[in-house]
Amino acid sequence: MTASLPQSHHDYTFADYLALERDSEIKHEFDAGEILAMSGGTARHSALAARMIIALGNTCVPGCTVFTSDMRIRIVATGRATYPDVSMVCGPIEYDPEDAARTTITNPALLVEVLSVTTEKGDRGNKWMHYQRISSLQEYVLVSQETRVEIFSRTSAGTWEYFEVREGTVRLASGPTLDLAVLYADLPL
């Protein structure tokens, strides 16, 4: 997704946010009482997200489910709610108990953000700080508009290892395999 823009400087509750989302034609994120409108993405951004969904779906391990950016993620420890470009849950899906409609999950094993000029700072900064607080999260993948994939993997000690891939194939710790030649072939400009 592209940048989140503040709607106001109110102190909304998560219930207020869910009510707005239910009736809204556009998506919003929720952070520290603020409701943030999401703007649209480019053709290249959308194509990269779609290819990530296909790659993860084609190679994910049994028992894992891949989700599009329509699935909301909530970081229970901080209250932040986001729509990552791609997410994956392995095992039973845990829905946010504050969301009776079951449109928010809390236990992703993998989150993917496709970077853009307007989102990169937040995806690497504030969002990443929140995402690290998800106990089920094993990997955070940043997909550049150019040929580069960055992967943060949780170690058994609970710290995060970083590596980047610019060519070839990489197998994610959560199971799926990414072939960068396929991921980046013939993308729209």
- The encoded tokens of residue 20 equal 């707005």
Q: What is the dihedral of CA 118, 122, 125, 130, to 10 degrees?
A: -160
Strands 110-114 and 28-31 come out as unpaired
Q: What is the pTM of this model?
A: 0.91
Task: Match 């009482």 to its residue by tokens.
Answer: 33
Give me the phi and psi of 90, to 5 degrees please. -115, 125
Residues 75-106: pLDDT tens digits? Answer: 999 999 999 999 999 999 999 999 999 999 99
Residue 130's CB: how many other CB atoms inside 10 A? Answer: 19
What does 40-104 look like in DSSP terms, one character per residue?
A: P--HHHHHHHHHHHHHHHHHPPTTEEEE-TTSEEE-TTT--EE--SEEEEESS--B-TT-TT--E
Residues 1-34: pLDDT tens digits? Answer: 445 555 446 789 999 999 999 989 899 999 989 9
Nearest by Cα to 111 from 143, 85, 130? 85
- The encoded tokens of residue 80 equal 């932040």
Residues 57-82: pLDDT tens digits? Answer: 998 889 999 999 999 999 999 999 99
Give the CB-side neighbour count of residue 106, counting CA atoms within 13 A.
15
List the domains of the chain with CATH numbers: 42-184 (3.90.1570.10)
Strands 72-74 and 104-105 come out as parallel
Residue 114's CB: how many other CB atoms inside 10 A? Answer: 29
pLDDT of 118 higher than 90? no
